[in-house]
Amino acid sequence: MLFTKKPPQTELLATPTPTSTIESTVEPIATASAKPLMEVDKLIIQDERIGTGETAVAGKKVTVNYVGTLTDGTKFDSSYDRGTPFSFSLGAGEVIEGWDQGVAGMKVGGKRKLTIPSSLGYGPQGIGAIPGGATLVFEVELLAVE
């Protein structure tokens, strides 16, 4: 459910470099629960640990462990909680666009924090426990590239 393919975007987005941090404008938004959330307009990549193994590139199958939260810290998904890593084909549109862009360039053993705007996530409609317009925060650890 979490990684449902989203319809293609109409604007061209650049893929970030593997070790870059991409800055963005951050603005608080109101929610029904009145808890302030943060809204970003660009993908933010923060390398917490640089791996030393094979590099994740489009067309390769990658395996990751991850935790997904909203900007208020509410956890909505975790491969650690399920006890099963998640695998997908990078760049094939099997996951949200923020993941295809954010995992590209990682090396096995690396860990990244991805702050994904709704435009690269689930957009204004949301999905399941993720409200429409939500900025998503993922801690992603790359386990394998095949």
Q: Which of 66, 86, 116, 130 is catalytic?
A: 66
100 is catalytic: no
Which among 35, 143, 135 has a CA at the least distance from the CA of 85? 143
Q: Which of 86, 100, 127, 138 is catalytic?
A: 138
Q: Which of 77, 86, 127, 130 is catalytic?
A: 77
96 is catalytic: yes
- How far, in Å, CA of 140 to CA of 65, rounded? 6
Q: Which residues contact 72 (CB under 8 A, 6 or more apart)?
A: 35, 36, 37
DSSP state, residue 73: S
Beta strand 136-145 pairing with 75-78: unpaired
- How far, in Å, CA of 83 to CA of 33, rounded? 31
138 is catalytic: yes
Q: Which of 22, 72, 76, 88 is catalytic?
A: 76
Q: Which of 45, 96, 127, 130 is catalytic?
A: 96
80 is catalytic: no
Residues acting as catalytic residues: 66, 76-77, 96, 122, 138
